[in-house]
Structure formats: structure tokens, C-alpha cells
Amino acid sequence: MSNLFIKEMNKNKILWIIFIFSLIGVLFAGYLTFTKLVLGSCPLIEPCPYFLGQPACVYGLVLYLILLILSGILLFSKPKKELVLQKSLVFISLIGILFAIFSTIKEVFLSTCPGGKCVYSLGLPTCIYGLIMYCIIFFFSLKLKKAT
């Protein structure tokens, strides 16, 4: 096998990982957003941090959608501006990391919970799960840049 084929195969694996974690992020943030905006309550009975008057999960959903679209374009077509899209993945995932850190701080330290004690249905605040997914996407986005 030629080095170009192996490099292309590795690049596709990395793109699939980014695409799958972006999709998981869209589904997770989408569920949180739908429940908060349509049903009017946080689905996991925990504090819901706000940013500029909107729940943080709305911004998370938008960022994950952008990452999903960018990784989908890179995965399923041969774009002319591939390097720009790869850099965009790194940049957007870094914004996601910073936003998730900010939201986690608000959720953990600045929010109040019913009864005074926060209980997290998933063991950790939802913003931390968003942070973990953004970090994974960021890491693989950096690997993708090196693979090209």
C-alpha cells in the first residue's frame, strides 16, 4: 500500500470520529434545547446556565451543528478549501471548549438548585459532558491537520 492511501485512510477514520462526536453533541444538546425551550424545564433536573438570555445548550447545539456540517462536508465531498475547513474545525471546537468551561463554571458554582443541593442525573453536570465532547473533537481536529 502506498503512503498516500494509508494517509487518506487515517484521515477518513479521524473525520468519522469527529463526525460521530459532532452528531452525538447535536443529539445531546438538541434534546436539552428541545426540552428547555418547548417543555420549559431542564430535562435532567439540574441548573440550566444562561448566556445572553438563552440557555447554554442552545449555543452548544449551534456549535455542534456547525462541527457536524463541516466534518460532513470534509467526509462526504472533496471540497476545494479543505485546509480552511480543517482549520475551522479546530477553531469552532476551541470555541466550544471555552464556552463549555464558562457554562460549567456557571452551572457548578453560580447556579442554585431546588433544595439547595444539586443532584446531577448523569453523575456530572451536562456542561462537563459537552466539554468532554468538544475536547475530543478538538484533539482529533488537530490530528486531522497533521494527517494532511
Parent domain of 21: 3-147
Instruction: Check residue 7 and give its pLDDT.
Output: 62
Percent of the chain with pLDDT over 70: 87
Let me know: does 14 contact 140? Beta carbons within 8 Å: yes
Residue range 118-146: mean pLDDT, rounded:
87
Task: State how many domains the chain has.
Answer: 1
Instruction: Check residue 77 and give its pLDDT.
Output: 87
- Mean of the per-residue pLDDT values for the chain? 86
**pTM: predicted TM-score of the whole model, two decimal places:** 0.87
Instruction: Check residue 1 and give its pLDDT.
Output: 47
d(CA 48, CA 55): 6
More confident residue, 142 or 44: 142
Helical pair 126-147 and 82-109, crossing angle rounded to 10 deg? 160
d(CA 37, CA 53): 12
Here the CATH number for the domain that contains residue 46 is: 1.20.1440.130
- State pLDDT tens for residues 31-90: 999 988 888 777 777 777 888 988 899 999 999 999 999 999 999 987 788 889 999 999
Rg over CA atoms, the chain: 17
Residue 23 parent element (H or E): helix 3-34
